[in-house]
Amino acid sequence: MKEIILVKVGEIALKGLNRKNFEDMLIKNIKRKIHKLGRFDIVSAQSTIRITPLDDFTDMDEVAEKLSKVFGIVAFSRACVAEKDMEKIKESAAEYLEPIFSENISFKVESKRSDKKFPYGSPEISKMVGGFLADRFPNVTVDVHDPDVVVTVEIRDFGAYVHAKVEEGAGGLPVSCGGKAAILISGGIDSPVAAYMMAKRGLELSAVHFASPPYTSDRAEEKVSDLLEIVSDYAGKMNMYTVPFTKIQEEIQKNCPEELFTIIMRRMMMKISDRIARRVGCQALITGESLGQVASQTIGAIACTDEASTLPVFRPLIGMDKKDIIDISQKINTFETSCLPYEDCCTVFTPRHPKTKPDPERVRNAEAKIDWEDMINEAVENVKLTRIGENLY
């Protein structure tokens, strides 16, 4: 029996005249995601994307698992294909649903008839298929109010389909439809979640990570790479730029007031990330900051940090509680890796009493005592490139 997958889009359906561009991008991302699993015919028609395997050996469980992580898909269903003949539809439904209907379950049938040439209306289709299934499987019961299983029969212009389970998709918008941005990525819980959330809004990501050997270890950098590999399962391939930051941090420690260490460090990170982002075609920066979570994430500190960037800075976690962020990190499987005990450079030279309300003029004056330009240029020129997600596609 032929099995296909019917994909439902979410807010793409509201894009008006631009809808086709978004659908084309989504189909491109779907093809990239599943091309290693076999050959497929993928077409968009009647507000649904239809994925038909062209090989008999295709593992549809694996295809479904891959599709669950494609942004732009709000839901999808595995369905059997039937001829547009009522008797054939009933027989196909019984054969396809037999594994489910072997249990003592309750069910109802819903029908959707977009092909108005089909001789039966939706209520008639539901009644006929439901009656046939009830007769074929006497162990099941009909419950139109709160059934265990909802069987859906779709009569479309290009075929008839039966399915009984709707899988939740990743939602959002197709990656790459919203431009490019660079995520400042650490080994903590927050920044991988921020990367995931902005990819969900259609951004193609690059990543900037700051390393300060010998204060930070190779394992800390590997941890960040591992986190990005997990995120790339949703966000697609990306480049990770690891910045040598030791010299700059030591200069801050030697020459700047202790209470301003963190804010000046963050400003240097912004300046460097801004330059790398522009060099690789990014239009914004992304951070994992949440308002008030730590001293560098107060309104005053954030404003002082933003001053160092010429690009807009997106903070998708800004109004979220830590529990909310942890919940998402567990959902996308970054939490356990984030909790590994390899510290990043943000913990180096941490001041005992950091400024929560920094005076921007005082910060600028403290910075002005040092010629940063050569150090920033040196850091940018010596970034290490790591390609993320190469094995996924």
For 274-292, b where at least 16 C-beta lie within 10 A, e where not — what string?
bbbbeeeebebbbbbbbee
302-281-12 Cα angle (round to 5): 85
Give the pLDDT confidence score for residue 14 in this predicted structure: 81
Q: Is the pLDDT of residue 134 over 70?
A: yes
Between strands 285-286 and 313-314, the pairing is parallel
**Using CA atoms, how far apart are residues 292 and 279, in angstroms rounded to an integer?**
32
The mean pLDDT of 60-68, rounded to a whole number, is: 96
The mean pLDDT of 166-184, rounded to a whole number, is: 95
- From the CB of residue 317, how many other CB atoms can be counted at a distance below 10 Å? 25
Stretch among 227-241, 255-269, 322-336 having the lowest mean pLDDT: 255-269
Q: What domains sit in the chain, N to C, each tagged with a CATH number?
A: 3-168 (3.30.2130.30), 180-388 (3.40.50.620)
The mean pLDDT of 223-252, rounded to a whole number, is: 95
DSSP designation for 383: P
pLDDT band at 275 (very low <50, low <70, confident <90, very high): very high
Give the pLDDT confidence score for residue 203 in this predicted structure: 97
Give the pLDDT confidence score for residue 278 in this predicted structure: 97
Give the pLDDT confidence score for residue 87 in this predicted structure: 95
pLDDT band at 375 (very low <50, low <70, confident <90, very high): very high
The mean pLDDT of 34-47, rounded to a whole number, is: 90
Give the pLDDT confidence score for residue 300 in this predicted structure: 85
pTM: 0.91
Tokens 């054969």 sit at which residue? 95
**Using CA atoms, how far apart are residues 288 and 324, in angstroms rounded to an integer?**
13
Q: Is the pLDDT of residue 151 over 90?
A: yes
Give the pLDDT confidence score for residue 11 in this predicted structure: 85
Whole-angstrom CA distances from 216 to 84, 90, 276, 347 are 64, 64, 21, 9
The mean pLDDT of 201-225, rounded to a whole number, is: 93
For 61-88, b where at least 16 C-beta lie within 10 A, e where not — what string?
eebbebbebbbbbbebbbbbbbebebee
Give the pLDDT confidence score for residue 1 in this predicted structure: 81
**Using CA atoms, how far apart are residues 161 and 179, in angstroms rounded to an integer?**
36
- From the CB of residue 53, how many other CB atoms can be counted at a distance below 10 Å? 20
Give the pLDDT confidence score for residue 352 in this predicted structure: 67
Percent of the chain with pLDDT over 90: 72
DSSP designation for 291: T
Torsion angle of the four alpha carbons 389, 37, 53, 235, in this order, in degrees rounded to the nearest 10 = -10
Q: What is the per-residue pLDDT across 106-119, written as a single tens digit (0 to 9) for each?
A: 999 999 999 999 99
| CA dihedral (53, 56, 61, 65) positive or negative | negative
- Which stretch of DSSP H or E encloses residue 41? strand 40-45
Task: Give which of 5, 330, 18 is closest to 202, Cα–Cα.
Answer: 18
Stretch among 12-26, 225-239, 275-289 having the lowest mean pLDDT: 12-26
Mean pLDDT of the chain: 92
- From the CB of residue 160, how many other CB atoms can be counted at a distance below 10 Å? 24
- From the CB of residue 353, how many other CB atoms can be counted at a distance below 10 Å? 8
Torsion angle of the four alpha carbons 242, 244, 246, 248, in this order, in degrees rounded to the nearest 10 = -110
- Which stretch of DSSP H or E encloses residue 381? helix 373-381
